[in-house]
Amino acid sequence: MIHRGSDKDLVLKPDVCVVGSGPGGAMVASRLARKGASVVVLEEGGYHLKDEFDMQEATAYPRLYQDRGQRATADLSISVLQGRAVGGGTVVNWTTSYRTPDDVLTYWRDHFGLGLGPETLKPHFEDVEQRLGIRKVDLEDTNPNNRAIYDGCRKLGWQVDTIRRNVRGCLRTGYCGMGCPVDAKQSATLTYLPDAVAAGAEVYSDCRVDRIEWSGRRATGAIGYFGSGRTARVEPRVVVVSGGAINSPALLLRSGIAGNVGKYTWLHPVVAMGAFYDEAIEGFYGAPQSVASHHFAHRTEGAGFFIEAAPVHPMLASIAMPGFGAPLRARMDLLPNVCATISLMIDGFDASERGGTVTLRPDGGPRLDYPFTDRIYECFRAGMKAMARLHLANGAREVVSFHASPVHIRREDDLALLESAPLGPNLFAAFTAHQMGGCRMGADPAVSVVDPQLRHHDFENLFVVDGSAFPTSLGVNPMESIYALASWASQQILA
C-alpha cells in the first residue's frame, strides 16, 4: 500500500529498496514487485490525489515542487522546476512524451560504450506507450498558444509537428503543471505505482532518505527520516537510487560516494520570448504543450535547440516576465494576448561542454552550479531570434525578450537588437524543467558513475535508475525515456 508517512520508527528488510517514486523508481518498483521481489519505495514528497489539485499556483508549487517551486542554481541564474511528490515529476509535467532519438542512442554507443540501441529499447517504449495511453495530438486539439508555433513554422518552411501526450480523457483544462484535477494525466501515481502496490510493494511518502550505508562493495542500508520525525531504516539486498538528476547525486555524496558523482549535469537550459497578439490567445487554457519544432536540433554553427510552448498562468508568467511594479503590471494586464514560447538548448554533445555540477550545501542539501559559456549564449541568442521570427511570420504585433531590460521586436530588422542585449547571470530569465546527468552511465569508470547496466562501478548491489544516468541531454522531453530506461534496467537488476 501507499503510506502517508509514519508515526513510528521502521526497520524494514525487503529484497529491494527504491529511493524515489518518479518514472524511474515507479517503473523499477513495478517491474521487480511483479516478478516476486519484496519492494519498499521511499519518497520524500507527499501523496496527493486529484481532490487536492485545486488548480491554484499558490497551492501547487509549495506542495508539489522541490523547494516550494523556488529551486535554482547557486547563483540564482536558472530557475529549476522539479517535481516533489509520490509520482515525482510525472505529477506536474506537461505530458509531452518522446522516445529517445535514434541519433542520441548512437552517440551514446560511440562515445560511452552503451548498447541501448533503438531495437533494444523498442519493446520497452511500446509497453510504456500502451500503459500510459500515449498518442499523438490532433492539430485541432491544440490551443492558440501552441497553434501559433505551428502556423509560424509552417509559414517559414521549418519542421514542426504536434506531439504525443500521456493522457486519457483529457479535458484540456491547462493545469497539468499543478496536478491533473480529473486524473486524465497518466502519471506514475495512477499507473506504475498502483501496479507495484498490487504486486505487494510498500510505498512510504514524506520520507527523505539522508544516506545510503555501505561496507566494502555492498550497499547495506538506506536511512530516511519522515516529516513526523520518525526514522526508516531499510536493509535490502539491492538499493535502487531514483531521486532525479539533482537529488540522486546529492544522496550519493551525503553517503560518502563521490568520484564523478554530480558531474556532467545537463539541463536543457531554457530561454523564453513573449509574443503579443491583437487577438486573444488565453494560453492558460488548453493542453500546455501540443506542438514542437526540432528544426534547429542539429545546427552546425552551435548547439542545437528545440522550440515548444509554455503555459501562461499568472504566477509563472510574472516570474518570467522582466521588470517590477507598474511596467510588470502593464504587461500582466495583456496576459490573455500573450503567446509564451521557449527554446531549449540541447546540451552535452560538444567536447567543450562540462555542463553543471551538483555538490552539497552545508546543510546537506544539493547545490547546483551551471556556468554559462559563449556556446550557451550563442544558442540562447539563436533561439530567441528563431522564436521572434516565427511569431512575426504569424502576425504578432510585438515580440518581447525576457532580458532585465527587454528587447522589443516589431519587425525583422529589430532582430539585430538581440545581438547587443547583454547576456549574463541574472541579466535575463533562464529556466530548466529537464534535469539529466550527474550519475552518468558509461563503460569507463574514469568518466562515469554507473556501468552500462546502471550498476554503480564500485558496488555490487547499488543501481541508479533515473534521468541522472543519461550521459548527455536528449533533445526531447525526458519522461518517456526515463520510463523505458528503467524498464530495461529492471531486467539487469533481476539478473
Contact 347, 268 (CB under 8 A): yes
Interval 41-66 mean pLDDT: 96
Interval 214-238 mean pLDDT: 97
DSSP assigned state of 455 = B
Residues 310, 127: Cα–Cα separation, whole Å = 28
Q: Is the pLDDT score of 156 beyond 90?
A: yes
- Residue 361 burial class via C-beta count within 10 angstroms: exposed 0-12, middle 13-18, buried 19 and up: exposed
Q: What is the pLDDT of residue 199?
A: 98
Catalytic residue numbers read: 434
- The mean pLDDT of the chain is 96
Interval 270-295 mean pLDDT: 97
3-state secondary structure of 155: helix
The residue type at 13: K
Residues 40, 18: Cα–Cα separation, whole Å = 6
Residues 379, 356: Cα–Cα separation, whole Å = 17
Interval 123-133 mean pLDDT: 98
The whole-model pTM stands at 0.97
Interval 399-416 mean pLDDT: 96
Q: What is the pLDDT of residue 320?
A: 75
Fold of 139-167+270-346+373-424: Cholesterol Oxidase; domain 2 (3.30.410)
Residues 483, 117: Cα–Cα separation, whole Å = 15
Three cell numbers, residue 431? 529556466
Find, among 145, 195, 175, the residue nearest to 30 by Cα: 195
189: CB partners within 8 A, 6+ apart = 47, 48, 49, 85, 86, 87, 90, 91
Backbone φ and ψ of 137, nearest 5°: -75, 140
Fold of 2-66+82-133+176-263+436-494: FAD/NAD(P)-binding domain (3.50.50)
Q: Structural domain boundaries of the chain?
A: 2-66+82-133+176-263+436-494, 139-167+270-346+373-424
Interval 313-323 mean pLDDT: 79
3-state secondary structure 53-99: CCCCHHHHHHHHEHHHHCCECCCCCCEECCECECCHHHHCCCCEECC
Contact 381, 418 (CB under 8 A): yes
Each residue of 23-39: pLDDT tens digit? 999 999 999 999 999 99
Q: Is the pLDDT score of 323 beyond 90?
A: no
Asked whether the CA dihedral 81, 85, 89, 91 is positive or negative, the reply is negative
Q: Is the pLDDT score of 353 beyond 80?
A: yes
* pLDDT confidence band for 332 (50 / 70 / 90): confident
Backbone φ and ψ of 25, nearest 5°: -65, -40
* pLDDT confidence band for 334 (50 / 70 / 90): confident
* pLDDT confidence band for 471 (50 / 70 / 90): very high
Give percent of the chain with pLDDT exceeding 90: 95
Interval 435-450 mean pLDDT: 97
